[in-house]
Amino acid sequence: MRTQVAIIGAGPAGLTLARQLALQGIESIVVEHRDRAYIENRTRAGILEQPTVTLMHELGAGTRLAVEGMDHDGFFLRFDRTTHRLNFHRLIGGHATVYAQQELVKDLVALRLEEDGPILFETKVVGIDTRADGATLRAERAGEIVTIEADFVAACDGFHGVGRAHIPDSERIEITRTYPVAWLGILARTAPATPEGMYCAHEDGLSLHSMRGPRITRQYLQVPADTDLDDWPDERIWDELTRRSESIDHPELERGEIFDRSLAPLRSVVCETMQKGRLFLLGDAAHIVPPAGAKGLNLAVSDACVLSYALGAHYKAGIREHLDSYSTTCLPRIWQAQYFSWLLTTTIHALSDDPMDLRLRLTRMQRWVESEDEQRALGEVYLGLPFPTPWAYN
C-alpha cells in the first residue's frame, strides 16, 4: 500500500487529522490496532473546549454534537462544605461542551468511512522506518505483515504507542511528573449533583461530579495510586462520594446503578521532541496531562490542526517551514494546558498531610471565587485557548 500520510491510531488525534487532510485533498491511510466496536465504546473524556466544538462543526462532524452536547458556562467548586459557581461564559463568552469522547469518535469514524476512505481496523503497527525521502510502516493484520509506504507518518497512537519509542532516547527531550494518586471513575444512572460539573476539594481528597446526560453521571474519586478496584464495592464508592461532597447548601448525592468503573493514573508528560524527520507525534503519543481540567482530548485535536496546516502548506505550496516548526508551534499551548492542569490538580486534591498546604489551597480557592480577574485567567484556558494555527492551508 502507498499513501501520502500514514496515520497510526484512530483516536481523536488520528481521526481529526485524517478528516482535515481529506478536506484538503491529501490522501491518508489510518491504521488502528483495535476493532471498531472497541474504540467506539471506550469510556474516557467528556469535556470539549469551545475551539474543539467549533472545529468539529467546520469538519462536518458537529451534527449530533449540536443536538446531544450540553453547553456549560463553567463549573462548581465546593470547599469548606460550601458550593461556589465559577461562570466563565459571563466573562469570556463561549462554552465547554459535555459530549463523551466515544461519541465524538463514532461521529468521526462514520464520516471517514462514508466520505473519505477506509480505516484498517485490527491492524497493529510493529515497525517504523523513516528515511530522508519517505517512510515505511510494518503492521500485523490477521497474522500477516502489511507494508505501508508513505511520505509522512503521523503517530496518533496514544501514550503506549510505537511512535514515541521510534525517537531514540538520546534524542528525545521528555519531561515527566507522576502523582501518588489516581482517579477512580464511574458511570452511574443518577441525576447530576449540580447542573454543571463540580469539583469538591475535601480535606481527605477530591470528589468530582460530572455528567453525560440528564440521568447519567460521571463521577471520580481521588484514591491512592496503588488502589485495587476490587477493594471498592459500589457501597464504598457511594459512601465516599457522599462524604466528600457533603455541603450545607445542597441535598445529599443521589445513589444509583454503577455500570462502568475504571482507574486512571495522574501524571504529566511532555515529549518536547515531537518530530523526527518525517515522523510526527500527536496527542497522547506526545503528552499526557493529569485529568483534572479535561485537557487531553482537546490538546490532541489542537496538534492535529497544526500538522494538518503544515502538511497543507507542504503539498499545496511546497512550503516546508511549517513542518519543520511543528513542535515549536504546538508546545506553548501544550505547556499552558499542563500549567492549568497542574494548578487545578495541586489545588483540589489532597496531596499532603501538612496543615499549611491545606490552608494555602483553601486560600487559593477563596481567591478564585472572589476575584473576577482570577476567574478570567482560569476561564480562558478552561474554555479553550485558540488553536496555534488554522487547520487548513489556503
Residues that bind ligand PHB (CB under 6 A): 45-47, 197, 208, 210, 218, 291-294
Which grid coordinates belong to 9?
A: 491510531
Which grid coordinates belong to 376?
A: 478570567
CB 205 within 8 A of CB 349: yes
Which grid coordinates belong to 44?
A: 474516557
Q: Which residue has the cell 484538503?
A: 24
Catalytic residue among 12, 192, 290, 291: 291
In the list ligand RFL, ligand PHB, none, the entry touching 201 (Cβ below 5 to 8 angstroms by class) is none
- Compute the CA torsion angle 340, 345, 346, 347 (nearest 10 deg): 90
Judged by CB under 6 A, does residue 124 bind ligand RFL?
Answer: yes
Judged by CB under 6 A, does residue 119 bind ligand RFL?
Answer: no
User: Binding to ligand RFL (CB under 6 A): which residues in 31-70?
Assistant: 31-34, 39, 44-47
- Tell me how far apart the alpha carbons of residues 174 and 99 are, in angstroms, rounded to a whole number: 31
User: Binding to ligand RFL (CB under 6 A): which residues in 256-275?
Assistant: 264
In the list ligand PHB, ligand RFL, none, the entry touching 219 (Cβ below 5 to 8 angstroms by class) is none
The minimum distance between CB 264 and ligand PHB, in angstroms, equals: 9
Q: Which residue has the cell 500485523?
A: 140
Q: Is the dihedral of CA 103, 107, 112, 113 positive or negative?
A: positive
SS3 call for 147: strand
Catalytic residue among 12, 51, 72, 349: 72
Judged by CB under 6 A, does residue 192 bind ligand RFL?
Answer: no
Q: Give the residue with the Cβ less far from ligand RFL, 51 or 247.
A: 51
For 250-297, what is the HEC assignment?
Answer: CCCCCCCCEEEEEEEEEEEEEECCCEECCEEECHHHCEECCCCCCCHH
Residue 382 catalytic? yes
Judged by CB under 6 A, does residue 158 bind ligand RFL?
Answer: yes
CB 207 within 8 A of CB 240: yes
Residue 339 catalytic? no
Catalytic residue among 199, 220, 309, 315: 199
In the list ligand RFL, ligand PHB, none, the entry touching 388 (Cβ below 5 to 8 angstroms by class) is none
- Tell me how far apart the alpha carbons of residues 347 and 325 are, in angstroms, rounded to a whole number: 34
Judged by CB under 6 A, does residue 296 bind ligand RFL?
Answer: yes
> What is the set of active-site residues?
72, 199, 291, 295, 382
Which residues bind to ligand RFL, rule: CB under 6 A? 8-14, 31-34, 39, 44-47, 101, 124-125, 156-158, 161-162, 183, 185, 264, 283-284, 291, 294-298, 300
